[in-house]
Amino acid sequence: MTNTFDWLPPLVLFNDHGGNWEAYLDVIYAWFKRDFVENKPVFQGRRLGLKRHPVTNGKEATFWHMISEGAIEDERIPDLRRCERIRWPKPVIENSEAPRVKWWISVKNREDRIHIWLEDEDYVVVLADRKGYLLPWTAFLVTRGHTREKLRKEYERFWKDRQQNG
């Protein structure tokens, strides 16, 4: 981790919590709750809502999407690298126009998705634009070269099209 971004908070490490998953889950959820339930972030002047449902074990859907991976909702698996970075999504969202931060809009399932990419950290936050409000959707580490290339192409295509179309 290069920590090119001095506004990124430190990682929340599993080993710092005695290797106890339940204790660690409580700690990372407390950070999530502080950043997304009690004090919502703002993306370029737009305040974010929260995708609460389905609520699992008393925790909102967005929380699970930020700390786990998998295509099937009920079968998502926690990813410690995502968990460690639970304090990152809010500052990433709020610093989307900082140097070395890339953001763009792509369409998925007929919905605009805003991607905010810290390429130097291989970290992406995704927001869903629900026409009138934004929802934090997920956040993840880019671990595969083809994913990195896909993101780079989406970013370049968005800004090229925006430049050409005004």
In degrees and rounded to multiples of 5, residue 143 shows phi and psi of -115, -5
User: What is this structure's pTM?
Assistant: 0.93
Instruction: Please give the Cα distance from 151 to 148 (Å, whole number).
Output: 5
In degrees and rounded to multiples of 5, residue 68 shows phi and psi of -140, 170
100, 12, 141, 51 alpha-carbon torsion, rounded to 10°: -100
Assign 105 to helix, strand or coil: strand
* pLDDT value at residue 76: 87
pLDDT in tens, 113-142: 999 999 999 999 999 998 888 999 999 999
* pLDDT value at residue 17: 93
Task: Tell me how far the alpha carbon of residue 51 is from its chain's centroid.
Answer: 13
Asked whether the predicted pLDDT for residue 1 surpasses 60, the reply is: no
Handedness of CA 41, 94, 119, 11 (dihedral sign): negative
C-beta of residue 55 within 8 angstroms of C-beta of residue 113: no
pLDDT in tens, 12-47: 999 999 999 999 999 999 999 999 999 999 999 998
pLDDT, averaged across the chain: 93
Strand locations in the chain (E): 42-43, 46-47, 68-69, 77-78, 102-108, 111-118, 123-129, 134-141
* pLDDT value at residue 55: 83
Q: State the number of CA atoms in the 13 A half-sphere of 51 facing the CB.
A: 17
Instruction: Please give the Cα distance from 77 to 8 (Å, whole number).
Output: 25
pLDDT in tens, 52-92: 788 888 999 899 999 999 888 778 899 999 999 999 999 99
* pLDDT value at residue 124: 98
Asked whether the predicted pLDDT for residue 2 surpasses 90, the reply is: no
Instruction: Please give the Cα distance from 59 to 8 (Å, whole number).
Output: 24
pLDDT in tens, 69-80: 988 877 889 999
